[in-house]
Each structure stands twice: as C-alpha cells, then as structure tokens.
Chain A
C-alpha cells in the first residue's frame, strides 16, 4: 500500500459544491472489473462508492472513514483493494473505465487487519449502544472487513469522557481516530476547532488544541456529531434513550459488556453482529425517523428527526439534503426544546372579563365566527385583516389569504416579509423580474467572488456561511464584506468595507460608475441583455469616488481597488440581508446591488446572481403563496381582472376586489385610525417584532377583536380575545420554500401537543364556522389547488417532493424546475433586464447631541428573532443567555466609563430598554449592537419606513445610553409564568450580573486551522505500518 503524503488527496483539486449543484457535469458511467466481474461506477468518483453498493447489498465492502461529503480521508485503511499488484485504498482511487480491481488476495487480509485496528480503539458493545440503529457505519464496516475474532484486543485510552459541551459528549475510548469530525469541522463547517494530535503517544480529538469542548471555539453546528461513524461523539439527547437497553445503570451496563466480551473469544463476533442487528431492528420499530425541514432561517436545511414518542432524540442531516447535505447550525441540530416546552399552549383560550379561560375548539371557533361576522356586517370586510406567518407552511399561507379574500372578502392580508424582505423583492422586481434568489446555494459556492452587504451570514444563515468559508478555504473564493460590524465573515474577508450607517447605496453606485467609466463593465452583456443603460449612467453622475469616500467614510483607493476586483472576477454573487433592507432606502439599495451585478454581467451564469438571504424558514413562501396584500399566489396581481375572475371562479364567489389591501404597517395605522377593527394573527409576534412596538401595542388595545394562533402565550396573545393553540413544525405536514426558491416537504413526526392543531386545520375551522366549507383532508389537497391556479407552481406536487426531492420555482407543468434563473432571458416581456436609476436620500434618525449613538440590531447564532423558540432551549441559553449592548472600549469611555456587565438604559425618541454592556472590537466607535433575542429592541425603533416597500427602518435608530438607576426593567418579571420554560438570564435570575456573554462563549475560543485531518502526520508515526503488515505491539494511531 503506497503511503506517501503526496497520495493524500488534494482537497483543493477535488473541491465541488456540497449543496445540490445543477451546474455539475452529469455523471459518466464506466465499467470497472472486480475479481473478474463487471461493475458500473461513476468516472472520477472514488472507487469505494461503487464497491459499497455492488450487488445492491450495502455492507458487503467496508467503508468507515469515507463519506461522500468529506471525500477520501484515508485514515481507516479498511477499503484496501488490489490494483496492478499493489494494495491501495479504494477511497483514494478514482474509478476509470476498465480498471482491474482485486479483492480476494492480500487486500482481504489488509482489510481484516484494518478492522482489528479499529476494534483496538473501540469496544463493540452495539446492543447497549445508542448508536446501534442498524446502519452504524463502524459496526457495518468492521463486519465487512471479515473480522470474526479479535487478535489485538481493545486498549483503552488514558482520557476521561469530555462532558463539558451542552449538546454532545466525546468519549475518547470509543473514538477510532477516523478524523471525520475533524474533516467536517476544518473543511466543511470551517470553524476549525477540531484536530487530532497525531504527535501524541495516545492520539485523540482535540478542541482548540486541548481545551474542554464546552469552553472552545466550537459553534455547536453538530457536523462532527452527525458524521461520527460510531458513538464517540454523540448527542446528549440520545444517551440512554435510543436503545431498548441503553438506559441501564452504568454498573449494570459494564457487567453486561464484560460478560459479552468474556464470551466473545469463544463465540467470535458473528453471533454478536447478529444479536446487535436484531436489537437494532427492535429498537427502530419503536423509534421513528421522519424527514423534516428546519423551522428557523431561510437556508432550507432538511434532515431526519429521530423521535421516540414525543422525545426528540436527534437531528440527523442527510447527504441527500439538497440545500445543506450534512450541514446544520446549532439551532437546527440542537434547538428543538420548544416543541415540548412546558408552557406550550394546549387548549384554546377566550378572554372572559379580566382573565383568559380555557375553552373548547367549538366555543373558540364560534366566538371567532360570530365576532368577525359582526364586524364585517357592521363595518364591511375591509374593517378586518389577516396577518400570516412566515413560519407557517406554504399551504397555510395559501389558506391565510384564502380566508381573507374568499371568506372575509378583503385583501388586507400580509406577512412579516414586510418587516424584512420586501425591499429586496422590490429591488429585484425592478431590475430582473423575479423577487427571489437568482440562483442556488451551489452558485454561491461556485462564485469566484462573493459580495456580502449588511448580512451577518455566519449568525443568521450559518450553513450558507459555512459553504462560503469552505469555498474560500479550498477553492480560492474571494469575499468582499460591507458591514457596520467586523463580524466573523468580515474578519475572514479579503476586503472589508465599513461604511457609515445607511450609505451602502452610495459606495455601490460609485463603484458601478467607476466600473463603467474605466471600461471595466461587461459591455456585451449590457448590450445584449440589459435595457436603460444611458438613463442609468446619467443618474450616476453624482456618485464620484471622491463623494462616496466622503459620505461613506471608505477610503477612495479602497473603493477603486474593490471595484476593479469585482469587475475582474469571473463570476460574482451578491448576498444581502437586513443590514440593507431595514433602511429607509432598503428598496433602492437592493436595486443598487442588482444594478452593479447587471453592469458586471453577473446574472444567468453558474456562480452569479443576487441573493437576498431570506430570514425565516418560509418568508419566501409566505409571499409566494399569496399572503401579501397585492398578489395572489405566484405574484398574480389582485388588480388583474382575469386573475381575479380565475380565483373567484375557483372559490365559487361572484367577484374579488381589484384594489390591493393594507399591508402589515398599514393595518396597524388603520387600527390607530379606527378603520380596522378585527384582526386574525397566525403565529406572528407583531407586538414585539414590528418597529416601534409602543405604537403597535397601543394599536392592539384598540381592536374590537383579535384572534391569535400561537405555540406559546406570546406578548401578542395578551391583547387577544381568542388564543388558539397551534401545532409546531414537527407536528404537521406541509411544504416550506427556502431562500433559493426551493420547495421542500416537511412530514409530521409527532401528533400536536394537547389539543393543538395545525394552522391549516385552524384556518379551515374558521372558514367553516363562517359558512365556507373547504373540505381539505391533507395539505397535499391544498397544494393541488394551488398548482391548478398558479402558473409559477404548475408542476408542484407532493409526489414530486417525496423524501429529499425538492423543486425550485418556477416549476413547469412537467415538473421542470429552475435552479438558476435568467440563463436565457430576464422575467420581463422583452426578456431584457432593466438598469434602474437611483437617488440617494439621507437616512432617518441620524445621531444628534441628544441621541449620539447609532443603534444596530440583529440576530446572534444561538437565538432566533425575539427568542420565543430558542430561549426555551437550555443549551442555547447557556451559550448565549441574554441580549447586550455591544460597544467599543472607546465609546464606553466616552459614555462615562462603562464596563462589561454594567446595566444601562438605551433611550431613543420612541422609548427605552435595559441591557448589560458588552465591550468588544467587533463594532465601530459611536455605534452599538443589540441582539434581538430579548424582544425589546423595538421599544427603540421608529415608525419610519422605506417608502417603496413600507418596511420599517429598523436599522436607522439613534439613542443615548444611561446607567440604570433603581429597579432594572427587564423582560421576564411579570411574564415569568407565561414564559415558564424560558432559560434566558432574564427569565431565571432577578438581576443577572457580570458579562452578558459567558467566558466559555465560542467567540473567546482559539481555533486551530489546518487543512483537513492531516493523515500524513498519522502515516509518519513510528507505530503506523500499512495494514498489509502486522502493526507493532502497543500501536496507538
């Protein structure tokens, strides 16, 4: 077996996108000959892939360290084969046509020897192991090596179990040192925390070079646990719960293991393999494995959830997941405690005087129908409104708008994209036609250069961030990050731009002008595919580099060199998020990004395009499926008479109004004005997440009638007349649409808690009580109706979305979908894109002497939005227990010598909030950052909006800071009963003290970057010999 380090595969050379890649060349099949028999393989792919699936019988050829998402790590040696008289690793051998492969000679003994070395490092006690699900990679691999009796014997390692991490534990004695975890951490997630100390007498996996896992730079993405082939790294939620006998007390378990081990020399492994297989079958008949889609951000991660009744044992991503493959973030992998939180709503509630009382669904629905009907009768249909949820399914979004339009008779229907993504959609509608990502995550991976503007991707879209870091590390991708904060992606970027708040449009337009002026634009693309160049060019007159440098604070030379870098890049993707959209110029700045891409010819090719990163799991789908005041499904305008007639006919009503309704913001204004009197809110925490909640909460008190469907008794529920217990994502069927326009199915993993119901059932119940029978028995019925009415979704069906299959809209009737838009034409009548002239306006609420600090806000990695779900996770709350006011040492000095842990009030013209100080150099002087998870930031934000989308200018807020005197106002307090299951510092302690971030927070860790697992260092060890030889006694690697 050749062992030179040079034979370690070249990770950079073999790089390919991990997410589903429409631009990948099609597989070319070749024939290899294995022991004289033909075997079909994919040319260039590792030979091991064909060998493990030959005869259609998995497990007949060993594969332990190899994983298709990780490539050939070459640490386990179990895949030895004979080629040209030499024993080599099948994982490191590309399949070629006519390749002659032998399995029965020296390689057979080598495979068995490799198996012996694995069980030297790992005790096979499968029957009482929580990893024994019938597909344990290690167990199957060892079995396939032909090992029947141990010849070396297990040798424990001199290390204790590392139990320091909130979500997983590492057992060195079970670790086979395959390095899958290291490979995933270093080169897939690219947090670069894990390594193996190959130079040690007793190698093991290390965190940050040798600190407890729970005190390291580990961001708990879970990659390492998900790819571990055995039980060395295991989710704590699995321990003692997965097997039929894995909950035995430790001493009993040890007795059993010892007894079996004592018998093993006589029986050999074969009966034990059979016994553990039988146990695995039995346990898997009482555990369920259900494919679902993540309920947090818009990346669209899909994975299996393993459950035992209501117990969520683990989340297991699949290589087949089209968006995420093996990847997850901490929330998707571990943040599911909200499903079984002890304060879930389980019964309908009705307001009864000054209290809520539990009631029956019958009474609740009767009250809703009666009150909504009465308001409609007295004030007309437009006195009512319905607010949908970007957490709900596409089918539920459709029914939300159907309830408003068909049953109530109003277009007053909207969703939370109004708070975040509407400006991005507006920018894309203006320039390219479709309001969605123009390509796929694989295009972001393929890009030569990625521009990230106002997006903290590592915290808000973590799996996309990992893809970008991987492309940067292994594929030479360049990153240009423009942000107020020097966050993780900014720290890793080749170019970091720190503009003055609210001035992104200026530097982008100046760069675009510079590119045009210097002849760096893609003239052919502009000529053939774009309209409006002359007018647009004229509109850029004011945007000189000098002006941009003065207004944005970015050095002129940096602007010029960055523009040249962007123009020279072969393919460019632009990503942006709330740092762009939640401004009074959100739509225009989004448009400016698209203009820049058009001028440089970066649409319609793999690796190019515009990507407004959608923040909720279904914020894309919620608007796509009609929960928006001006469109039916698939953005069919309500003003189009033919469309209105089509829907009226399908819904068996006479007519539908042709004028659009009120959006979220308009509805709140209308409540204040008294024209909107009744509101149905489906799972939206509007009283915390809308801007200026002081104004919103006041409005909610003025409603005649409010219905809220929720998982928990949220702040919005406090204003309700009827509260309905809703099912969570794991408790229902449906589909979500992710940021890359990808429609995916989620399947019910468990029944709704208590009497909770899925929102589609709730909406159907309300419609029925109001006199309209819908008659749906399953969400697939609803999707069928949508497909019939919507050209954009014509080919969408549940059958085409079975398992891990997905569709990216638009979807033709024959099922052809669209991973990459604009390859041939843009979505306008003439097929040409449009450059859109823009004029800069100064941001609102700029700093003044009275309010001298700019207040920025957003998410952190561990928490989602206002924290209603994530604060109910003990582990997430342990890592990040509270919000904070993050500022530089210099700002803190100027504000009276503040220090980390000091309680302060932030006071804006709209209101005030309290939090602790966190000193850091990730923010700029004079600017503070406040994470959203305490749900208080919108006490400070204003009513100002982007005029083109009505999206609030959340990011244009100024405040002053004061030390708190007297009692500290904090969320929690009087809500503690309602928020019983929350674990945040404010929920658990009277007055939390000290730093708001614990010292073990990953941002204080010290990663150990390297390329992969460094198997070359293993091969250099004196105690390593090829598996064709007997290893020296006492070998450890």
Chain B
C-alpha cells in the first residue's frame, strides 16, 4: 500500500559556466595552446624580464605618436596618396628595368609638370621635417 506523496525536486545547479570552462580547457588542450600557455605561465618571471629589457620606450612612444598622426588623415586623401604611391612604385619599376637614363634625359623629365609637382611636394615635406629637427 503506497499512499501518494509529493516531492519537490531541488533546482538543479546551473553548470553552464563550468561546462564552458571545461570546454575551453579541452579546446586549449587539444590545440596544444594549453601546453604553450602552461609553459608561458611557468616561465612568466623570465619572460617578463626579457620583455621589459627588450622594450624600447622611444619606439613605443613613436608608434603612439605616429598612430595619432594617422588619426588626423583624411581617408579619401590617404586613398589618393596610396594610389599615387602604388603608381610611383609601378613607374619606378618600369624606369629601373631599362637602361639608366643620361643626365640630359633626366633634365628633360623636369619639363613634365607632374614630375615638377612631385619634386616640389617632396622638397616641401623635407623642409617641414627639417624644421622639426634639433638645431644644435
């Protein structure tokens, strides 16, 4: 004789996060990354020392400054400059592939307005850089 009795199942623990961690660890293990990471962790003090010793603060600062300069660029202008650089590369390759031009031929090139515009831009850029260089 079994009289009916009720029962309230406990709320099961949410193992979602743990399952994901298990999955991550498994994936890291299978890919070999876990071994790499473990080695890295064990060698952490040495790696850190090596990293800090090899770091050049000036290079880091320069990269940050250059990054700032890039932010000021107009993408469309950059696109035009980049296209010009690509064309310059192609033309340079073509020019370099033939016989070297003589001095007169080079002078004749100065008649080309695009060439003169390029030299002028280059000289202007060099002047700007020169202004920024230390005087002493």
Q: Does B20 contact A (CB under 8 A)?
A: yes
Does B9 lie at the interface of the complex (its beta carbon under 8 Å from any beta carbon of A)?
yes
Q: Is the CB of A310 within 8 A of B7?
A: no
- Cβ of B129 < 8 Å from any Cβ of A? no
A701 to B4, CA, bound (A): 7
Check A266 against B2 for contact (C-beta < 8 Å). Answer: no
Distance, CA A446 to CA B55, complexed state (A): 77
Pair B9/A701 contact, Cβ less than 8 Å: no
Nearest chain A residue, comparing its CB with the CB of B11: A342
Nearest neighbor of B19 in chain A, beta-carbon distance: A309
Residue of B nearest to A750 (CB): B19
- Contact assessment for B8 and A977 in the assembled complex, using a CB-CB cutoff below 8 Å: yes
A975-B75 Cα distance, complex, nearest whole Å: 67
Q: Measured between alpha carbons, how far is A974 from B2 in the docked complex, in Å?
A: 19
Could you tell me the distance in whole angstroms from the C-beta of A356 to the nearest C-beta in chain B? 4
Tell whether B12 is near chain A: CB-to-CB under 8 Å. Answer: yes
In B2-36, which residues have CB < 8 Å from any A CB?
2-9, 11-12, 16, 19-20, 23, 27
| Contact of B79 with A by CB under 8 A | yes
With contact pairs A697-B4, A701-B3, A706-B2 given, residues A266 and B9 touching in the complex (Cβ less than 8 Å): no
The interface size of chain A toward B, counting residues with CB under 8 Å, comes to: 38
Residue A351, interface by CB 8 Å: yes
A719 to B2, CA, bound (A): 6
* Residue from A345, A754, A978 within 8 A of B6 (CB atoms): A978
Whether B1 sits at the interface, judged by CB under 8 Å, is yes
- Which single residue of chain A is at the shortest CB-CB distance from B82? A266
A720 close to chain B: CB less than 8 A: yes
- CB of A349 within 8 A of CB of B7, answer yes
- Chain B residues within 8 Å of A685, by CB: none
CA distance A342 to B13 in the complex (A): 9
Contact assessment for A713 and B1 in the assembled complex, using a CB-CB cutoff below 8 Å:
no
Residue of B nearest to A262 (CB): B75
Q: Please report the C-alpha to C-alpha distance between residue A706 and residue B1 in the assembled complex, in whole angstroms.
A: 10
B6/A702 in contact, CB under 8 A = no
CA distance A1 to B81 in the complex (A): 42
Question: Which one of B3, B8, B19 contacts A310 once the chains associate, using CB atoms below 8 Å?
Answer: B19
Chain B residue contacts of A701, Cβ below 8 A? 1-4
- Given the known inter-chain contacts A310-B16, A342-B12, please indicate yes or no for A354 contacting B4, CB distance below 8 A: no
Q: In whole angstroms, what is the CA distance A715 to B6 when docked?
A: 8
Q: Which residue of B lies closest to A285 (CB)?
A: B27
* Nearest residue, chain B, Cβ from A702: B1
Q: How far is the CA of A221 from the CA of B6 in the complex (A)?
A: 36
With a CB–CB cut-off of 8 A, which chain B residues contact A974?
6
> Given contacts A266-B75, A713-B7, A978-B7, is CB(A703)–CB(B2) below 8 Å?
yes
Q: Which residues of B contact A718 (CB under 8 A)?
A: 4-7
Nearest Cβ on chain B to A490's Cβ, whole angstroms: 40
> Is A997 in contact with chain B by the CB < 8 A criterion?
no
B residues in contact with A343, CB < 8 Å? 9, 11
Question: Interface residues of B toward A: which range?
Answer: 10 to 19
Q: Which of B3, B12, B23 lies at the interface centre, i.e. has the most chain A CB atoms within 10 A of its CB?
A: B12
How far is it, in angstroms, between the C-alpha of A717 and the C-alpha of B4 when the chains are bound? 8
Task: Tell me whether B8 and A978 are in contact (CB under 8 A).
Answer: yes
* B12 partner residues in chain A, CB cutoff 8 A: 342, 344, 346, 753-754
- Contact between chains at A309 and B5 (CB < 8 Å): no
Residues on B with beta carbons closer than 8 Å to the beta carbon of A697: 4
> Whole-angstrom distance between the alpha carbons of A719 and B20 in the complex?
39
- In the assembled complex, the Cα of A713 lies from the Cα of B6 at a distance in Å of 8
Instruction: Report the bound CA distance from A534 to B76 in whole Å.
Output: 94
- Is A721 positioned at the interface, with any CB of B under 8 Å from its CB? yes
Looking at the assembled complex, report how far the CB atom of A346 sits from the nearest CB atom of chain B, in whole angstroms.
5
**Contact residues in A for B75 (Cβ distance below 8 Å):** 266
Quick one: which of B31-49 are within 8 Å of A by CB?
none
What are the residues of chain B within 8 A of A346 when measuring CB–CB? 9, 12
In the assembled complex, how far is the CB of residue B8 from the closest CB belonging to chain A, in whole angstroms? 4
Whether A286 contacts B2 by the Cβ 8 Å rule is: no
List A residues 675-711 near B (Cβ within 8 Å).
697, 700-703, 706
User: How distant is the Cα of A1027 from the Cα of B6 in the complex, in angstroms?
Assistant: 68
The answer to whether residues A309 and B16 also contact, given A713-B9, A978-B7, A978-B9 and a CB cut-off of 8 A, is yes
Residue interface mask A959-980, B partner, CB < 8 A = 1: 0000000000000001101101
Is A28 among interface residues, defined by CB-CB distance under 8 A? no
Residues of the B chain whose Cβ atoms lie less than 8 Å from the Cβ of A355: 5, 7
> Are B5 and A351 in contact, CB atoms less than 8 angstroms apart?
yes
Q: Which of B6, B20, B23 contacts A975 (CB 8 A)?
A: B6
User: Are the CB atoms of A356 and B7 closer together than 8 Å?
Assistant: yes
Query: Given the complex, which residues of A lie within 8 Å of B1, measured CB to CB?
Result: 701-702
Among residues of A, the one whose C-beta sits closest to the C-beta of B24 is A286
Question: Chain A residues with Cβ under 8 A from B4's Cβ?
Answer: 697, 700-701, 715, 718-719
Cα A202 to Cα B31 with chains together (Å):
50
Whether A266 pairs with B19 at a CB distance below 8 angstroms is no
Output the nearest chain A residue to B78 by Cβ-Cβ distance. Answer: A266
Give Cα distance in the complex from A309 to B5, angstroms. 34
Chain A contacts with B in 213-253, Cβ cutoff 8 A: none
Query: Which residues in A have their C-beta under 8 angstroms from that of B7?
Result: 349, 355-356, 713, 717-718, 723, 978
Residues of B within 8 A of A349 (CB): 7
Give Cα A349–Cα B9 distance, bound, in whole angstroms: 10
CB nearest to B9 among chain A residues: A343
Chain A nearest CB from B17 CB (Å) reads 10
| A700 and B20 form a contact (CB under 8 A) | no
Nearest Cβ in chain A — how far from B99, in angstroms? Answer: 38
Chain B nearest Cβ from A866, distance in angstroms: 16
CB of A980 within 8 A of CB of B8, answer yes
Contact B6 A977, beta carbon cutoff 8 Å:
yes
User: Contact flags (1/0) for A657-674 with B, using CB distance below 8 Å?
Assistant: 000000000000000000
Q: What CA separation (Å) do A731 and B52 show in the bound complex?
A: 52
Chain B proximity mask over A507-531: 1 for CB below 8 Å, otherwise 0 = 0000000000000000000000000
- Closest Cβ–Cβ distance, residue B76 to chain A (whole Å): 9
B75 to chain A, nearest CB (A): 7
CA gap between A720 and B3 in the complex, in Å:
9
- A contact residues around B79 at 8 Å (CB): 266
Provide the bound-state CA to CA distance between A754 and B12, in Å. Answer: 8
**A 321-362 contacts with B by CB, 8 A:** 342-346, 349, 351, 354-356
B2 x A700 contact (CB < 8 A)? yes
- A351 contacts which of B2, B8, B9, B11 (Cβ < 8 Å)? B2
A309–B24 Cα gap in the complex (Å)? Answer: 12
Near B by CB (< 8 A), chain A positions 708-742 give 712-713, 715, 717-721, 723
- Bound together, the chains give a CA A263 to CA B40 distance in angstroms of 36
B23: which A residues are within 8 A, CB to CB? 286, 309
Min CB–CB distance A158 → chain B (angstroms): 30
Most buried by A among B1, B2, B9, B27: B9
Interface readout for A764-784 with B: 1 if CB under 8 Å, 0 if not?
000000000000000000000
Whole-angstrom CA separation of A285 from B28 in the bound complex: 13
Question: Could you mark each residue 750-761 of chain A with 1 if its beta carbon is under 8 Å from any beta carbon of chain B, else 0?
Answer: 000110000000
Given the known interface contacts A309-B19, A309-B23, A310-B19, the answer about A354 and B5 at a Cβ–Cβ threshold of 8 Å is yes
CB distance from B70 to the nearest CB of A (A): 14
Q: Are A721 and B20 in contact (CB under 8 A)?
A: no
Distance, CA A975 to CA B1, complexed state (A): 21
Taking CB as reference atom, which chain B residue is nearest A725?
B9
Taking a contact as CB atoms closer than 8 A, the residue among A309, A720, A754, A980 that contacts B2 in the complex is A720
Cα of A423 to Cα of B56 in the assembled complex, Å: 87
The A977-999 residues at the B interface (CB cut-off 8 A) are: 977-978, 980
Contact B2 A345 (CB under 8 A): no
Residues of A within 8 A of B19 (CB): 309-310
Known contacts A719-B2, A720-B2; 11 additional CB pairs below 8 A are: A286-B23, A342-B12, A345-B9, A346-B12, A356-B5, A706-B2, A718-B5, A723-B7, A977-B6, A980-B8, A980-B9
The 6 A-B pairs with the shortest beta carbon distances in the complex, nearest first, are A977-B8, A718-B4, A356-B7, A309-B19, A343-B9, A713-B7
Instruction: Return 17 A-B CB contacts under 8 Å, by A number.
Output: A266-B75, A286-B23, A309-B20, A310-B19, A344-B9, A346-B9, A351-B2, A697-B4, A700-B2, A701-B4, A715-B4, A719-B2, A754-B12, A977-B6, A977-B8, A980-B9, A980-B11
